[in-house]
């Protein structure tokens, strides 16, 4: 009589993995609703409490001085 395979136990997620999964799920839901990344970033930036002048938003999340460009 063949042995029955036990069902695979789901791997326990770390808090970081849970956070990433939730962020991806929310981003996909925003895409389905028609909201653009730029609109979301503008709305999110408006909720942040900032003292003084703030830096203007970039057109994409990867523009700006935070990324070093290759020379040459």
Q: What is the mean pLDDT of residues 64-69?
A: 56
Q: Give the residue-averaged pLDDT of 29-48.
A: 86
- The residue-averaged pLDDT of 39-57 equals 79
| CA atoms within 13 A of residue 66's CA, in its CB half-sphere | 8
Is it the case that residue 62 has pLDDT exceeding 90?
Answer: no
Token pair recorded at residue 58: 């970039």
pLDDT at res. 25: 93
**Hey, which bits of the chain come out as E strands?**
none
Q: pLDDT of 3-31, one tens digit each? A: 666 666 677 889 999 999 998 999 899 88
pTM of the model: 0.49
């Amino acid at each position: 009589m063949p042995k029955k395979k036990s069902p695979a136990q789901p791997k326990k997620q770390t808090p970081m993995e849970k956070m990433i999964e939730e962020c991806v799920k929310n981003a996909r839901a925003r895409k389905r609703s028609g909201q653009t990344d730029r609109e979301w970033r503008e709305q999110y930036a408006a909720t942040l409490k900032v003292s003084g002048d703030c830096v203007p938003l970039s057109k994409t999340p990867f523009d700006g001085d935070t990324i070093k460009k290759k020379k040459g």
